[in-house]
Amino acid sequence: DKWRSRRKILTPTFHFNVLEEFVDSFVEHTDRLVETLKSEAKSGEIVKDLLSMFSKITLNTIC
């Protein structure tokens, strides 16, 4: 079925050794996100769209 087929394709992507290669990128982009949120909080700005921010960091991390 579709689920099994898709899982078979995606599973190798999430193997520990593959994810381990992304650690530096995860840290770098997460640090940037934290600094952005801190800056906005200090200025009194209200973050309204976290989904957009998290989507962007996710794409930037893996691409």
Q: How confident is the model at residue 31 (pLDDT cuts 50, 70, 90)?
A: very high
Over residues 19-30, the mean pLDDT reads 89
| pLDDT at residue 47 is higher than 80 | no
| pLDDT at residue 40 is higher than 90 | no
Q: What local confidence, expressed as pLDDT, does residue 18 receive?
A: 80
Average pLDDT, the chain: 88
Prediction pTM value: 0.64
Q: How confident is the model at residue 28 (pLDDT cuts 50, 70, 90)?
A: very high
Distances from the Cα of 6 to the Cαs of 16, 19, 59, in angstroms? 19, 19, 20
Two tokens at 63?
A: 């691409």
47, 63, 16, 34 alpha-carbon torsion, rounded to 10°: -20
> Do 18 and 8 touch, CB atoms closer than 8 A?
no
For the chain, which residues make up each domain, given as ranges?
A: 2-62
